[in-house]
Amino acid sequence: MVDVMSKNRAVVTLPTETQILIERDFAAPKHLVYKAVTTPELVSKWWVGKRGEMKLAEIDLRVGGKWRFLMIAHGKFEVGFHGEYREIVPNERLVSTECYEGIPDPDAHPTVNTMTLRQVGDVTKLRVLVQCESKEQRDAIINSGMEGGMQEAYDLLEEIAVSLQ
Amino acid sequence: MARAPTTSDAFNAVAEPRRREILDLLAKGERPVNELVRQLRLGQPQVSKHLRVLREVGLVHVREDGRHRLYRLNGRPLKSIHEWVKNYEQAWSERFDRLDDVLDELKREEDSDGGRHE
């Protein structure tokens, strides 16, 4: 079904034609989730997922401060994102721009990402609302995830194949 | 959050939680409106409004049966949406699974610190 609500899985919905909403629960207090998303050494440990190696994580955590993440996708090509912090409420809310460096003139096409953290008991509910400039941009972002997904599927297949040897 | 002005495609249609509930109910079989009203505990006008949106994007079909209008799910657009978003969702899931590991480490560090933190 569309609405897969199992607890520790990312749920992606599309609230409007220009937005993407990503939601995920974490079994940790919110100050630790905040720390993990705003500390370069920690971001380096998770941000690439299974898609490559982290090459660089820079975070200047103040309003107007810049961030930049760079990864090497499967040892082949660099994929970079950067942006600027617009609003910071420690442990609760982080608004930043995000520009994908793989397109011409990335700074002309930022998304505005609003991350909020809400703690309910021992669980922190993370929400990232990605505001795109157009439906086309939103669709392109979703499609970029498709490539990643395909790659992950191949990786998984490879793992399974290796385990069967 | 600003509401979508109208719902021109199936993506927006399923972003509304109540509409997802309707689809979940219809996934179990064809239903008349009054049954949906009862199960959702919503007013008939709201349910009818949601159904109209779902019909416009082709997610539900309707047929007349005497005095009743029966609604049923049409899974086809749903499947393509799900396939489309699922891969993006998968990428985030992989990323967040690693964040889980980082958080476990941080919790252990904090515990061994005797709970000293800001």
CA distance B68 to chain A (A): 27
- pTM for the full predicted model: 0.70
Longest C-alpha distance within chain B, in Å? 71
User: Across the interface, do A26 and B95 touch by the CB < 8 Å criterion?
Assistant: no
Number of domains into which chain A is organized = 1
Q: Residue A92: which CATH number?
A: 3.30.530.20
Query: Using the 8-state DSSP alphabet, how is residue A108 labeled?
Result: G
Convert the pLDDT of each residue in A74-117 to its tens digit.
777 888 999 999 999 999 999 999 999 988 899 999 999 999 99
Instruction: Give the containing element (helix H, strand E) for A18.
Output: none
For chain B, which residues score pLDDT lower than 70?
1-8, 114-118
Query: Domain range spanning residue A65?
Result: 11-163
Domain assignment of residue A138, yes or no? yes
ipTM value of the model? Answer: 0.77
Please, which residues bridge with residue A26 across strands? A124
Residue of A1, A2, A14 to mutate, testing the B interface (most B Cβ within 10 Å of its Cβ): A2
Domain assignment of residue A5, yes or no? no
Class of domain B10-75: mainly alpha
Interface check A33 vs B, CB under 8 A? yes
Backbone angles phi, psi at A84, to 5 degrees: -140, 140
With beta carbons less than 8 A apart as the criterion, state whether A58 and A44 touch. no
Domain assignment of residue A88, yes or no? yes
User: Across the interface, do B102 and A46 touch by the CB < 8 Å criterion?
Assistant: yes
